[in-house]
Structure 1
């Protein structure tokens, strides 16, 4: 079976197998689910392997060294969906046997064909956010609302002054609350948006055109940030991916 990638505004996922993933730490919350075999991760503390879904928090350096088929979900923590997943664990790396992860695993095992699977996966991911009936936490209401504001203005860069003024807090206070609630800086949240916008244009434009179009200074800067976040260069990522739009 071919590898499949879906990129959405607040999350992206990959189904398949790959090699040559380098150590990296990204600013997304990651869920890895083995479809067959085990997920094997190399971290600063040693090698971690499991047959169960594994949640990896933001900024945790790791390398995927297993090449069996797996599901890899990356969620922007500066989104309402990311807010939900980020609060499922207080550990950097942890096996997750809660309903959202188990629903995804069941769909991966039981659902065919490919397009049906893609729709089922997206449906499960989208229904679990911090405003759903199964929410398990309460965060700062200003940041909850700020995440919605950012989602509604995804097509542009929202300045720090704009969003802080909108919620009647100082810029310094907003930055503190945002980092406390999401686990990433506001600058990194905006950088993540640029990467996601760039990925959706892979195969349609040159990497230089993409880099300049989403706000990077040049292709080298875009490639460096991309590799830091995903463990692959943009060119290598495109080689292993088959994009599915649903």
Structure 2
């Protein structure tokens, strides 16, 4: 397995020989290559390319990444770090950053995030108390206690929060900046990755995260991140 670091709101993966299809997701992305890299994004003027440099991308930006080795860090836009990244972007869709001389020496998430000099005034996103309650419940997955798939339906979550389904969906999008379904997919992928890190096989991880089988999990991962879990794992085990 590659090096995978997970904290609430953040997924960081150090991988080798990464070559993704064009894809997009509802997350901000920091790419920190430790070798050669090429990231391309479409613009109104055409395709913009970045080579051998660290890149910040805003959420929902289509992109394609080829990287010999390095870190890919995905961030929830409304998280503390996500708000700092938004401040760094200042309305832009992408921004390049300088790369440290020895980025491969960093092995833990706080140091990685420190590479980007996120020294803007700290911003705090104030969630509705009911959304905070839901996020706290979802964060149990980081300790290996994931919410079971049968409790992930919007109508069930709404009932637990004493809201109508339509009110819950509106309140969630208002607080988080993205729909419940898209956020839930991100959380289910985190759940599957956490299970794989804990030593479960792909079939077990898929079941735990509410996917029908390991192939369904791999297809969803590829649609979300441009590469299958199987390929990512095999590349890092060579």
- TM-score, normalised via structure 2 length: 0.71
Structure (1/2) with the larger strand percentage = 2
Q: Structure 1: give runs of 5+ residues left out of the alignment.
A: none
1:33 aligns to 2:35 (yes or no): no
1:7 aligns to 2:2 (yes or no): no
1:118 aligns to 2:107 (yes or no): yes
Q: 2:234 aligns to what?
A: 239
Question: Residues 16 and 158 (structure 1 numbering): CA distance in 2 closer, same or farther, change over 3 Å?
Answer: closer
Cα distance between partner residues in 1 of 2:65 and 2:235: 15
2:206 counterpart SS class: helix
Q: Deviations over 1:31-78 (max 9, x none)?
A: 11233555432436413215553222222221113x343321112346
Q: CA RMSD in A?
A: 3.8
8 Å Cα contact 1:5-1:241 kept in structure 2: no
Question: Residues 125 and 163 (structure 1 numbering): CA distance in 2 closer, same or farther, change over 3 Å?
Answer: farther
2:196 counterpart SS class: coil
Q: 2:54 aligns to what?
A: 53
8 Å Cα contact 2:39-2:63 kept in structure 1: no
Q: 2:102 aligns to what?
A: 109
8 Å Cα contact 2:78-2:125 kept in structure 1: no
Query: Which of 104, 119, 122 does residue 135 from structure 1 map onto?
Result: 122
Question: Residues 140 and 210 (structure 1 numbering): CA distance in 2 closer, same or farther, change over 3 Å?
Answer: closer
TM-fit CA distance, 1:5 = 2.1
Q: 1:193 aligns to what?
A: 187
Cα distance between partner residues in 1 of 2:18 and 2:102: 22
Cα distance between partner residues in 2 of 1:195 and 1:94: 25
8 Å Cα contact 2:131-2:172 kept in structure 1: no
